[in-house]
Amino acid sequence: MSSMRLHRQHPDQLIVGLVSISDRAATGQYEDQGIPALKDWLDKAVVQPSQYVTRLVADEPQAISNALVELVDEVGCDLVLTTGGTGPARRDVTPEATLAVATKEMPGFGEQMRQISLRFVPTAILSRQVAVIRETDSHAALIINLPGQPKAIAETLEGLKDEAGQSIVPGIFAAVPYCIDLIGGPYIETHEHVVKAFRPKSARRQPTA
């Protein structure tokens, strides 16, 4: 597949690939809910509006890997979020397809996602989400496997807060902007009432007057 490389409309604009992995959604038998949930959350969380490229893919390892390679290598995405296909069922192959295209594995993301989900259900230990970096000669991207349900997607990205709005368990997106900094991507800022991006003081940009 030949894809057009996207260009930023602003130097700090994030280019995001959103991939929903489902046999039924890919064949039109089921209306995908994962991609709309991801878009809604990112639009709410990220200060500079993002550009999105979306793909509906069947639960086939090669099809998933191909979509990830296309979005990073050809489209130029900085961040790719997948939803679905991370459980123990026979057709759940998203983690394997993601690892197949990885340059580096980022195990902390999967560990934290399961910690968040364990606050709700003991079956969170059945989730096999992974996160990886894919690098080419001129570009790199962070790829993260997320759960399939919209509520779980938001909880995983945003984390858990108490009634006063204080963080109990940090969401994984708190670490995403700094990770993208480190791999050469745009400087992403978030709305702190949704999720506060963490950077060491030395990596923080001075606010503009």
> To the nearest whole percent, how much of the chain has pLDDT over 90?
81
- Rounded to the nearest 10°, the torsion over CA 188, 102, 80, 200 is -20
| Percent of the chain predicted with pLDDT > 70 | 95
Nearest residue to 148 via CA among 55, 81, 77: 81
- Cα(71)–Cα(69) distance, rounded to whole angstroms? 6
Q: Is the predicted pLDDT of residue 138 greater than 80, yes or no?
A: yes
Domains defined for the chain, CATH in brackets: 15-200 (3.40.980.10)
pLDDT average, residue stretch 166-187 = 94
pTM passes above 0.85: yes
Q: Is 208 a residue whose pLDDT tops 80?
A: no
Average pLDDT over residues 157-178: 90
**What tokens appear for 83 in the block?**
């939803």
Give the pLDDT mean for 176-180.
98
Residue 159: per-residue pLDDT: 92
